[in-house]
Amino acid sequence: MSDQPDQARMTVQMTADDYAEFAAYVYKRPELRRRRYRSHLRFAVLMIVALLAYLIWQTWDGKGPDWGRILPVYFEGLAVGLGILALLALAYEFALPPLVRMNTRRMLKKQPDDLFLGQHRLDFGSEGISDTTATASGRMDWSDIRRVEETPQHLYVILGTLQGVIIPKRGQDAATLEAVRAQLRAHVADTQLAPSA
């Protein structure tokens, strides 16, 4: 395959902040956001049905429910319940990313791990991405990569809904970043990268 770019290599310094930013980034990705919205919707439907069932049960007099007593209480309870659910959902969307960052940093500071933190040499070749540290090495085959996304500070190689490889761009020259982007474009069908220079 003569149209395949040559191998690319970069050395990066991984920090707890890189992992914290990735955790928050993944949390905000559209597929997880849709999953959370579906969960909120299921909870709202469950609350609507459960509240109605509870009020029918409480007012059942042997002949049927007392709708005159149920409906005002039901709509009042529904308004309060759905209002609280909406506030919690909004708080969840805006308050959780900073908490995710904080917890990720705290976890990595409590248990610093040479496997995750520190210097990593990344080699982008015909078979995949090799990651080598002072104590370990591994490779991700191109076929295991679902998507690649770029932010101003990082390249994220997405392996699954919550998994990925973090590639910090800080300290890299333009030629190295372009060689890495060329490898990613050549091997991964779904890329969201900065345009070529």
Give the containing element (helix H, strand E) for 192.
strand 191-192
Q: How confident is the model at residue 112 (pLDDT cuts 50, 70, 90)?
A: low
- The pLDDT score that the predictor gives to residue 1 is 43
Burial 31-60 (b: 16+ CB within 10 A, else e): eeeeeeeeebeeebeebeeebbeebeeeee
Query: Residue 2 pLDDT > 70, yes or no?
Result: no
User: In the chain, pLDDT over 70 holds for what percent of residues?
Assistant: 93
Query: Residue 169 pLDDT > 90, yes or no?
Result: yes
Place of tokens 């997880």: 32
Residue pair 141/126 in contact by the 8 Å Cβ criterion:
no
- Mean pLDDT on 83-91: 87
Per-chain mean pLDDT for the chain: 84
Tens of pLDDT, residues 119-153? 899 999 888 999 988 888 888 889 888 889 898 99
Residue 189's identity, in one-letter code, is A
Burial 128-166 (b: 16+ CB within 10 A, else e): bbbbebeeeeeebebeebeebbbeeebbbbbeeeeebbb
Count of Cβ atoms closer than 10 Å to residue 108 Cβ: 19
- Mean pLDDT on 4-8: 72
Is the torsion defined by CA of 69, 71, 75, 78 positive or negative?
positive
Q: How far apart are CA 117 and CA 60, in angstroms?
A: 63
Place of tokens 């909120």: 40
Q: CA 143 → CA 5, 140, 188, 194, distances in Å?
A: 17, 8, 8, 22
Query: Residue 91 pLDDT > 90, yes or no?
Result: no
Instruction: Starting at the earlier edge strand, list the strands of the sheet with 8-14.
Output: 8-14, 118-124, 128-132, 137-141
Torsion from C-alpha of 173, 175, 178, 183, nearest 10 degrees: -110
Residue 191's identity, in one-letter code, is T
Terminal-residue alpha carbon distance, the chain: 23
